[in-house]
Structure 1
């Protein structure tokens, strides 16, 4: 009986070590929001996740030219142990991420990476079958 209890205790302890349920603490956090629409924020967690971001409203007051611009970065360790560092800009030109883990085109021709075959087939099918799109309904 003692052996069964000891084995049960070891099994529970082992299972608990495989799936930790303890919350991850926030080590530091900072936020600032300004009246002009600009902001900045950052945080660092106990497991090493770190993020920071700052944003501004460009051309404020000019409704035809107003645009938000955000600069930020995130770093963490992937499950396989790879350190991930991502920086980005988001503005009227879209989301522009940069990181060593992202696919990139060759430097010499400045073209984007190739579109995966499955996505390309889907795009080609959609272009060849526009009549299958349902019209938008007014509410």
Structure 2
């Protein structure tokens, strides 16, 4: 009896090892969005451009070139992207990325408030009346 239990235990362990794995079936949460247009060009000189457009109104495009600054090649990238916001407004952002960093511009990006008049007057006064240099320390001769 015990040999039968041992045999069945070994058989169960051996068969458990070979269970078929479940196949992965992707289950998208929402509607699958089609890509209407897609372009990608890579040139031998290192420049490129790509763009795409989807059926739900998302668009993006970008161009890049290599610019020589001194002895270094620096990438310069320009592009834009747009998409419809939840309230129906079209969000559009244009950008440049070069040796000066990433510089976005768009209709939804925050802008700084205007500089108050008192600060502008203070800056003008400071520019018109630079401070005198403080005297430098001059050690006395020792006797």
* TM-score interval for Structure 1 and Structure 2 normalised by the shorter chain: 0.5 to 0.7
Name the residue aligned to 1:93: 100
Partners of 1:101 and 1:40 lie apart in 2 by: 25
Q: Which aligned pairs between 1:99-118 and structure 2 lie closer than 5 A?
A: 99-105=106-112
Partners of 2:39 and 2:59 lie apart in 1 by: 12
Partners of 2:65 and 2:114 lie apart in 1 by: 30
Q: Does 1:58 pair with 2:44?
A: no
Partners of 2:45 and 2:115 lie apart in 1 by: 41
Q: 2:49 aligns with which of 36, 40, 48?
A: 40
Q: CA RMSD in A?
A: 2.3
Name the residue aligned to 2:76: 69
Post-superposition offset of 1:60: 8.0
Q: Where does structure 1 differ by over 4 angstroms across 4 or more consecutive aligned residues?
A: 106-109
Answer 1 or 2: which has greater helix percent: 1
Q: Structure 1 stretch 43-52 or stretch 19-28: which is displaced more?
A: 19-28
Q: TM-score, normalised by structure 2?
A: 0.56
Structure 1 runs not aligned, ≥5 long:
1-18, 110-139
> Size of the alignment, in residue pairs?
89
